[in-house]
């Protein structure tokens, strides 16, 4: 099964919520749609599910045109943020319902419900009703219900948003183990770049209804196609500085200083002088994140973010003036006019 979106556009009033999206998602792909709130991710997923019809363009599943085909005929398993569980049924029956409809044997249903419940740590909740569950528990029941089906496509919309940080990381691994090798496309929507990077075989970055870039997590990180992707993928975001504000670094051939911005990952900046040039900057904030630290520093109008191992920066204090080394070999380059990437060979 493949999922194809061909020139898909959806308007709300006069505004394009989804703007000319073209994607082909193959079997065995764990495909993540990543973007900020309001970028059109949920609308796009609902168009695949058949809950919303596009105004323009075509949706195909397994080569078959789906426009006008109702959701239940598309055989998609959905987990949405507002996991709609049946309130009058127990957790067990919610998970088992689809298998009962398909008339699976009772013993087989029982085995599958218990297996998935154990994996998602909800095996002690099987007799409860949805109203007796926390948000995070209900979310896992919705996941379990989708996992026991044999759909043509899995669609997940922020399925871990109600979980606390520890459980989210644990469930992320469980989703990857379970859905990473089911042999049908998985489309997973999130605004969380770390979730996208750890889960996706490919990631599409969306902004304002448009797909900005599609690639493997590594491709997006190493070769962001514009400043939006550069700023959205990676934490903390890449430093992007107009070259006119920085002395000592030459623009790439064919460009004037005023036409380009230089991008450097926080982990690629040196504290103290290194290869390349350096600027003197005053430390304004030190954030300790376990074994790493993020240092914020300002040099005139330039704000810099640097990420280092904690022990490398243990002696630094707010107010210290330090040299920040910028190595042009680590630079990304962008056109100031439209933010697009400049390839430097
Ligand atoms: P995301 O999932 O990325 O947060 P959505 O797909 O929910 O984005 O929304 C995309 C845009 O469409 C937003 O500007 C949102 O306000 C708008 N939108 C979504 N649903 C509706 C609706 N039913 N009516 C009008 N506008 C909507």
- Please report where in the chains the tokens 């990381």 appear, as a residue: 169
Whether a cis peptide bond, with omega within 30° of 0, leads into 53 is: no
Q: Which atom of ligand 1 is nearest to the CA of 36?
A: 3
Residue to substitute in 38, 53, 193 for testing ligand 1 pocket (most ligand atoms within 8 angstroms of CB): 38
Smallest Cα–Cα separation from 2: which of 78, 71, 58, 64?
64
Residue to substitute in 11, 14, 32, 43 for testing ligand 1 pocket (most ligand atoms within 8 angstroms of CB): 43
pLDDT in tens, 90-149: 999 999 998 998 899 999 999 999 999 998 899 999 999 999 998 888 888 998 998 888
| CA distance to 92, 159, 244, 300, per residue, from 331 (Å) | 54, 36, 15, 21
Span from the CA of 210 to the centroid of ligand 1 (angstroms): 13
Contact (Cβ atoms closer than 8 angstroms) between residue 16 and residue 9: yes
E strand or H helix that includes residue 178: helix 165-179
pLDDT in tens, 290-333: 999 999 999 998 999 999 999 999 999 999 999 999 999 999 99
Q: How many helices, marked H, and strands, marked E, lie in the chain?
A: 8, 19
pLDDT, mean over the chain = 93
What is the predicted pLDDT for the residue at 125? 97
Span from the CA of 262 to the centroid of ligand 1 (angstroms): 33
The CA distance from 209 to 215, in Å, is 18
In the chain, where do the E strands start and end? 3-12, 15-25, 30-34, 56-61, 64-65, 76-79, 153-157, 186-190, 202-207, 210-215, 239-242, 260-264, 270-271, 277-289, 292-299, 302-309, 321-326, 332-335, 341-342
Nearest CA owner, ligand 1 atom 25: 12
Q: What are the sequence ranges of the domains in the chain?
A: 3-223, 239-342
Nearest CA owner, ligand 1 atom 6: 40
Smallest Cα–Cα separation from 102: which of 69, 143, 72?
72
Residue to substitute in 11, 12, 33, 46 for testing ligand 1 pocket (most ligand atoms within 8 angstroms of CB): 12
Contact (Cβ atoms closer than 8 angstroms) between residue 147 and residue 115: no
May I ask the CATH architecture of the domain 3-223?
A: 3-Layer(aba) Sandwich (3.40)
What CATH number does the domain located at 239-342 have?
2.40.50.100
Residue 83 pLDDT > 80: no
Q: How many CB atoms lie within 10 A of CB 67?
A: 13
Please compute, for residue 22, the number of CA atoms within 13 A of its CA located in the half-sphere on the CB side.
3
> Cα angle vertex 215, ends 209, 217, to 5°?
110
Q: Give the pocket of ligand 1 (CB within 6 Å).
A: 12, 17, 35, 37-43
pLDDT in tens, 257-277: 999 999 999 999 999 877 788
Span from the CA of 43 to the centroid of ligand 1 (angstroms): 6
Q: What is the CA 251 to chain-centroid distance, rounded?
A: 32
Smallest Cα–Cα separation from 340: which of 246, 256, 223, 247?
223
Q: Which atom of ligand 1 is nearest to the CA of 39?
A: 3
Task: Enumerate residues 6+ apart whose C-beta is below 8 A from 9.
Answer: 16, 18, 19, 20, 21, 54, 55, 56, 57
Span from the CA of 164 to the centroid of ligand 1 (angstroms): 26
What is the predicted pLDDT for the residue at 182? 79
Span from the CA of 86 to the centroid of ligand 1 (angstroms): 26
């Amino acid at each position: 099964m493949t999922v194809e979106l061909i020139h898909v556009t959806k308007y709300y009033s006069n505004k394009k919520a989804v703007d000319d999206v073209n994607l082909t998602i193959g079997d065995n792909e764990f495909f993540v749609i990543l973007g900020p709130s309001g970028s059109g991710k949920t609308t796009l997923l609902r168009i695949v599910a058949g809950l919303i019809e596009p105004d323009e363009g075509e949706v195909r599943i397994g080569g078959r045109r789906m426009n006008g085909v109702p959701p239940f005929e598309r055989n998609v398993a959905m987990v949405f943020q507002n996991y709609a569980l049946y309130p009058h049924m127990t957790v067990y029956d919610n998970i088992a319902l689809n298998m009962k409809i398909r008339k699976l044997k009772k013993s087989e249903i029982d085995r599958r419900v218990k297996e998935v419940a154990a994996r998602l740590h909800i095996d002690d909740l099987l007799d409860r009703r949805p109203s007796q569950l926390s948000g995070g528990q209900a979310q896992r029941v919705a996941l379990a219900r989708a996992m026991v089906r044999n759909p043509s496509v899995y669609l997940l919309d922020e399925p871990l948003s109600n979980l606390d940080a520890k459980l989210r990381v644990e469930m992320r691994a469980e989703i990857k183990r379970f859905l990473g090798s089911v042999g049908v496309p998985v489309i997973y929507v999130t605004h969380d770049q770390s979730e996208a990077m750890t889960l996706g075989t490919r990631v599409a970055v969306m902004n304002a209804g448009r797909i900005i870039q599609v690639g493997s997590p590594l491709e997006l990180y190493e070769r962001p196609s514009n400043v939006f992707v550069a700023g959205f993928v990676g934490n903390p975001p890449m430093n992007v500085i107009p070259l006119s504000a920085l002395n000592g670094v030459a623009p790439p051939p064919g460009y004037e200083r005023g036409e380009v911005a230089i991008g450097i990952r926080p982990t690629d900046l040196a504290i103290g002088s290194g290869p390349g040039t350096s600027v003197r900057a005053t430390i304004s904030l030190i954030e300790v994140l376990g074994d790493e630290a993020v240092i914020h520093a300002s040099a005139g109008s330039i704000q810099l973010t640097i990420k280092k191992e904690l022990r490398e920066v243990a002696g630094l204090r707010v107010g210290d003036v330090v040299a920040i080394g910028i190595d042009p070999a680590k630079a990304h380059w962008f056109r100031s006019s439209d933010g697009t990437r400049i390839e430097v060979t």
